[in-house]
Amino acid sequence: MRRKSKIKAGFIGLGTMGSAMAQNLLRSGMEVAVFDSDVDKLEDFWSIPNCRIASSPMDAAIDADYFFTMLPDSEVVEEVLFGENGAVLKLREKALIIEMSTGSPVAFQDFRKRLHQQHIRIIDAPVGRTPGHAKRGDLLVLVGADEETLDEIRPLLECFGKDIVLVGPPGHAIRLKIVNNYMSMVGMVLTAETLLLAKKAGIDRDIAVKVLQSTTAGKGQINVNFPRKVLAGDISPDFPLSLGLKDISLAVELAKAEGAPLFLGGAARELFALAKPWGRSQQDCTAMLLLLEDLARSS
Ligand code: NAD
């Protein structure tokens, strides 16, 4: 890779995450042309050396070797790339688009196909963690690319990322990001349901939180039981699915008596009840993964 001071980049989307990421790129000495449809977001950038305020995505794409997008969703990314003043009108052959938004994997593959016809490269590099991490340059960056391309851009990603993980070929990083966010968002509901149940059951909230933070439930099955049991090929019952059914049933019944709606709880009980007809009730609770794989195969 050339010295950073010789590299030219475009960066579109200077919101909560993108603003800090673009500023970290600029701090490395790169020349960056920035654009955001909200002019207020440009304010912090006027005084930064090496920064050019672009008038459109097309303008930001002029001379860019690398073109970053950090936008709300795939519809906006499509507009920025292919719209009336879209970047593809000026991006040169072999330029690399680094799409960092959390968007649709289907839309990403469509962009990739369309850009391939114009000899423009695109990879997916969605980020994890918080706006604070973006400011400190400590983001998790998931990369969907070949190794050669990652080697090429690693110094750029390191301007805002501390942990850079090559997930697989283009399109795989955004898939993993969605998998992660599925767990995160369902975890929001599960945590809220759990705290509601504790409150309705008359438990002091501070005590409930403290206890849950110390148990396997709170620490997360992905950290505690799954790696040492089903993922290690061991489904001998430390705690069988039959006992899991008993416990989830107790919770659902308590919730019913106390007037706490448990949406996930009802679905979980149905799944635990399926363990018996599928011949898995005496296997470890983590064999829930195998039960779901059974169900996926049969659907
Ligand atoms: P944001 O809404 O703060 O920023 C998006 C920016 O895009 C805004 O400044 C907006 O004005 C700009 N924009 C919208 N339409 C545009 C257009 N047509 N042309 C140019 N600019 C346009 O969002 P964010 O929090 O920075 O998140 C960006 C992406 O990163 C999202 O996909 C989000 O899901 C993901 N993400 C967010 C976080 C977080 O903690 N906020 C963490 C990880 C990933």
**In the structure, how many helices (H) and strands (E) does the chain have?**
13, 9
Separation of CA 168 and ligand 1 centre (Å): 24
The yes-or-no answer on residue 90 being catalytic is no
54/159 same-domain check: yes
Residue where one domain finishes, among candidates 139, 168, 197: 168
List the CATH number of the domain containing 40. 3.40.50.720
- Taking the centre of ligand 1 as the mean of its atom positions, its distance from the CA of residue 265, in whole angstroms, is 33
- Write 265-274 long-range contacts (CB < 8 A, 24+): 265/193, 269/245, 272/241, 272/244, 272/245, 272/248, 273/245
Stretch (H or E) spanning 122: strand 121-124
- Could you tell me the CA-to-CA distances from 176 to 94, 168, 170, 268 in Å, in that order? 26, 10, 12, 24
Residues with CB under 6 A from ligand 1: 12-18, 35-38, 41, 70-72, 76, 79-80, 101-102, 127, 130-131
What is the average pLDDT value for the chain, to the nearest integer? 97
Q: Residues 3-24: pLDDT tens digits?
A: 666 899 999 999 999 999 999 9
Amino acid at 249: S
Regarding whether 152 and 23 lie in a shared domain, the answer is yes
Q: What is d(CA 208, CA 213) in angstroms, rounded to the nearest whole number?
A: 9
Same domain, residue pair 186 and 44 = no
On the question of pLDDT at 296 being above 70, the answer is: yes
- CA 66, distance to chain mean position in Å, is 22
| CATH number of 186's domain | 1.10.1040.10
**Given 138, 168, 198, which residue is the final one in a domain?**
168
Q: Which of 74, 55, 49 is nearest to 10 (CA)?
A: 55
- Local confidence band at 299 (pLDDT 50, 70, 90 cut-offs): confident
Q: Are residues 157 and 205 in the same domain?
A: no
Query: What average pLDDT does range 88-116 have in this prediction?
Result: 98
Which of 168, 202, 225 is at the close of a domain? 168
Q: How many domains does the chain have?
A: 2
Instruction: Look up the domain containing 133 and give its range.
Output: 4-168
| pLDDT tens string 56-73 | 999 999 999 999 999 999
What is the distance of C-alpha 15 from the center of its chain? 17
